[in-house]
Structure 1
């Protein structure tokens, strides 16, 4: 509604201006973005930001909101918070900002975002999609599986009608007199349709969906069923999306198409060989053996002291889309050393193992014999004055402000 002046802002009161006069084209929607944020067209930049912050907290996907709705809110705020873009939109609608990179959607996608169906603005918009988490075992991601899931959706019974009170907007403008010759205008949800913009009768419908878990699928992948969400009048039904959530496995850890298993071996097994039987994700029994004479070391011979790792090529996860190409199965070893050994065992090992201890001649009465104690390499460099006792001594010195002691001279 306009107060004073002529509609369209053109002399003579021609709405929308005339062709060739530099005014906006006819039948251009310049209200949709304001409706998205729930503000008036003359809202201040502060009001627009306040509305955006409130809506973004409610509709953020991380808080269970609809992703499409959140994108609409973000794109609307990005345009209306920019003075130049807002002026262009107020004159030419979305056409006025179609060349801008708005919300990473690109101008061509703005019409699809707010009206559905690309630039065919007369087409129906799409209703919000619904996401469901789908917990899947590593075995099912390896072998593939079809899961039947029942979902309940709302479908329209009979015909629906646009709310005559709000004309399908879901909100109405109210005016009240706040002083002599002063009128305040505010927007509130339409009570007649509960803010929906339509009148319709719904019923619940139960659908059984066959969800295909493809071989090699990863955590976070989405399985979409188009048009299977709730029906909304004058809108295309949204999608039902199942989001894969990979369950933890008792033996294997996964990264991409590779698998990792951890094997603890005794010192005897590390030196003399080991045999390890495992059940793979396809229920095959694998017997992993070390080669004759092969030594399992505590760590790799690298500067970084990496864990000792070997692998079975082609025994990892299948690749999605090409399950015949598989990753590798890595085995990380941890060597368990005994705490102590009996003297008789030490004597035998000294004879059997290569490179025994060198014999050093010395007189115990003249040379000091010492033994090592347990230590933590993280404490290296913290000895001497940096030790705990010295730190306490230093803190005592700091109590008097670190001032030097002066001796009185006579």
Structure 2
């Protein structure tokens, strides 16, 4: 519950103060651990309840709305802020005001107390200018461009500062102003709001729009969501390190190839004849080359792989180039689907010929036609498995008995006289 500015500057002494030449470092002499208590009119070892009681009494007396001294009220509020917190009070009692400001147990290096309350206000350690936001643009790229590499020119529009910048006098370059609001007798709430005069920038300046053409280099093997960064080319803002322009690679879906990492996948449907006797297949690759994919002599392409997995073969070194080392490429995987003949495609002559040529033909079985019933297969859908019988046709004549009176399954009851 502070006004603005540096309330602790009233308690600092000599070179050890926040504005002194020590740059916020703790002085070599013994730290003063009593000044805050004296401000509230208390002894150092007082009870915690006494701190709150003393603050209320002094706040009413010195509140600016009641004609009190604003300078004195800031001192009282700052002292209460530290002593009302047991942890901060313990640090102050041991190491003095600088320990509270450092946020560490006498060693410093912690978050600056003033940064928390004033958004990086006075007394802040030198940390350099804050960094502006990056600007991201999606960049849709074809798989061919990611395979071969490409340079594209893209025009971007950015705001640049014209001339010199000046610090906002309203907020003293902080971008925020502090306001007090009384919430109860003797109790005030400090609120921080954005400075309207500078729009929260802390500095005033003139800007103009600039059109800049960037050459975006899409390197071989780049992947989906990979970023291409242009440092310091985002919108310029006063007293802020300019952010970056970032292009995010968005890989477009390909009609033929599927990509995963440095590997490519392509699907191929072949006939049963090709699966058994061999095939030749001409493929146009992503760089325009044509490669001839053939099966090995005597190789059989199966309908599926082990445990029902798709049947896959691969060609080494025909996948995507590796990003950063394009001479090392992944594999080109081929997923096969075997297309069997349809009903009616096989006549008796073809069937007889295949039985003679193919291994393991169907063997004749001797059986008694009067004792063995011969049945034929019909087309079916595995999704219908379990739906056969009366349940599959909306119920039958022999439904289970029902306990509901008058139901369709009600049986005949015996009546005794």
Whether the 8 Å CA contact 2:99–2:108 is kept in 1: the answer is no
Equivalents in 2 of 1:380, 1:194: separation in Å?
A: 69
CA-CA distance at 1:194 after TM superposition? 2.5
Q: CA separation of 1:173/1:332 partners in 2, compared to 1, >3 Å: closer, same or farther?
A: same
Output aligned runs, 1:70-89, within 5 Å: none
2:297 alignment counterpart: 292
| 2:331 counterpart (328, 332, 338) | 328
RMSD over aligned Cα atoms: 4.4
3-state SS of paired residue (2:288):
coil
Q: SS of the counterpart of 2:353? A: helix
Count of residue pairs brought into register by the alignment:
332
Using the size of structure 1 for normalisation, the TM-score is 0.68
SS in 2 for 1:294: coil
Residue 399 of structure 1: how far off its partner (Å): 6.8
1:117-148 deviations in Å (ceiling 9; x for gaps):
xx983422211111111111111111111111
Residues 86-112 of structure 1: per-residue CA shift (max 9 Å, x gap): x99992357689999x9xxxxxxx9xx
CA deviation map 1:329-366 (0-9, x unaligned):
01000011122133323223222222111101123333
1:198 partnered with 2:198:
no
Determine if contact 1:137/1:246 at 8 Å carries over to the other structure. yes
* TM, length-normalised to structure 2: 0.67
Work out the CA distance in 2 between the residues paired with 1:247 and 1:368.
Answer: 59
Aligned to 2:173: 168
CA 120–8 in structure 1, closer or farther in 2 if over 3 Å, else same: closer
Higher Rg: 2
| Offset of residue 321 of structure 1 | 1.4
* Structure 1 residues without counterparts, runs of 5 or longer: 24-82, 103-109
8 Å Cα contact 1:139-1:282 kept in structure 2? yes
Runs of 5+ consecutive residues of structure 2 not aligned to the other structure? 19-23, 34-85, 92-97, 406-410
Q: Given the superposition, is the C-alpha separation of residues 409 and 168 from structure 1 closer, same or farther in structure 2, using an over 3 Å criterion? A: farther
Aligned pair in 2 of structure 1 residues 385, 211: CA closer, same or farther (>3 Å)? same
**Structure 1 residues 154, 272: closer, same or farther in 2, change over 3 A?**
same
SS of 1:220's partner is: coil
Instruction: Provide the rounded CA distance (Å) in 2 between the counterparts of 1:8 and 1:145.
Output: 59
Residues 245 and 99 from structure 1, CA distance in 2 versus in 1: closer, same or farther, beyond 3 angstroms?
Answer: farther
Distance 1:395 1:163, change over 3 A: farther
Partner of 2:363: 358
Deviations 1:293-325 (A, max 9, x none): 22111012x2x2211111111111111111111
8 Å CA contact 1:7–1:13 kept in 2: the answer is: no
